[in-house]
């Protein structure tokens, strides 16, 4: 029986995976899916200074053994989970994810920007912040329905701000030098219009031993929301080839 553990992106919740879960079960009737709220999101408390390693341990503790699928922030958490050495991550799917910012100065600039963004969330509140966040060019491919704004509104300003300060990309320890330690099969998924993360994705594949790069047509950064059917088709086809 296949077991999928799903980790969402920043401002989303476990519910953002509902369409993916339905599609997986329609193709793999015996499959189990477990979408998990990451710290500071949905029904989970804000992180108590938890870094990405702590978030990864929480994810593994709840998810158990299976195929881990992470998008953006969730992809970074899932990547850390694969490096914990717990053997819980049997296969790994990274959607629009990165192994971190190499340059210390650039990383510090991003940390400062993340902190400023956290302060803005606290200042203007979640509804106004989401209006700004979803206007980001990264999300240009999202329709109003696919963006699931009503679900994102369940998040709190305190939770989102704490998440940014604890697990934002600016706080992430670069993992590029450790990617060779990953021995499980890895699928790197990107949207064909997401040039930035396509380049990062190819770099991930080059650094990981058993990794496959797949670009989803007519999609930007939020592949699983913009093209859920193509996303599930790509994951299942890859798993089938990996398990031969």
Distance between CA atoms of residues 57 and 234, nearest Å = 27
Contact present, 188 and 92 (Cβ < 8 Å) = no
CA distances from 12 to 75, 108, 203, 244 (A): 13, 25, 26, 34
Q: What is the pLDDT of residue 40?
A: 93
Q: Is 183 exposed, middle or buried (0-12, 13-18, 19+ CB in 10 A)?
A: exposed
Band (243; pLDDT cuts 50, 70, 90) = low
For the segment 47-72, what is each residue's pLDDT rounded down to a tens digit?
Answer: 656 799 999 999 999 999 999 999 99
Q: What is the pLDDT of residues 108-143, one digit of tens each?
A: 999 999 999 999 999 999 999 999 999 999 898 899
Question: Which helix H or strand E contains 35, and what residues bound it?
Answer: strand 32-36
Q: What's the residue count for the chain? A: 244
DSSP letter for each residue of 89-152: EEEEEEES--S----HHHHHHHHHHHHHHHHHHHHH-HHHHHHHHTTSGGGTT--HHHHTHHHH
**Cα–Cα distance for residue pair 73/9, rounded to 1 Å:** 5
Alpha carbon distance 79, 31 (integer Å): 22
pLDDT at 47: 66
pLDDT at 17 over 80: yes
Q: Place 199 in a pLDDT band, splitting at 50, 70 and 90.
A: very high
Which whole number is the average pLDDT over 215-221? 95
How far apart, in whole angstroms, are the C-alpha atoms of residue 11 and residue 92? Answer: 22
Which residues is 186 bridged to in the sheet? 92, 211
Mean pLDDT of 223-230: 96
């Amino acid at each position: 029986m296949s077991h999928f553990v799903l980790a969402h992106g920043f401002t989303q919740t476990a519910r953002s995976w509902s369409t993916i879960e339905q599609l997986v079960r329609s193709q793999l009737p015996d499959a189990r899916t477990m979408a998990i709220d990451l710290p500071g999101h949905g029904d989970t408390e804000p992180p108590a200074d938890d870094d990405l390693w702590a978030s990864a341990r929480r994810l593994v503790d709840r998810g158990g053994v299976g195929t881990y699928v992470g998008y953006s922030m969730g992809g970074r958490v899932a990547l850390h989970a694969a490096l914990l050495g717990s053997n819980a991550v049997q296969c790994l799917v990274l959607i629009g994810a990165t192994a971190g910012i190499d340059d210390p100065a650039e990383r510090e600039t991003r940390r400062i920007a993340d902190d400023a963004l956290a302060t803005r969330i606290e200042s203007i509140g979640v509804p106004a912040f989401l209006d700004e966040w979803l206007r980001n060019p990264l999300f240009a491919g999202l329709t109003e329905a696919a963006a699931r704004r009503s679900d994102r509104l369940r998040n709190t300003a305190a939770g989102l701000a704490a998440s940014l300060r604890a697990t934002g990309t600016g706080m992430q320890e670069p993992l590029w030098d450790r990617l060779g330690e990953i021995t499980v099969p890895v699928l790197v998924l990107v949207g064909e219009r997401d040039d930035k993360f396509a380049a990062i994705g190819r770099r991930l594949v080059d650094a990981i031993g058993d990794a496959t790069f797949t670009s989803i047509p007519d999609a930007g950064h939020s592949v699983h929301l913009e093209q859920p059917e193509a996303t599930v088709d790509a994951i299942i086809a890859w798993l089938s080839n990996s398990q031969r």
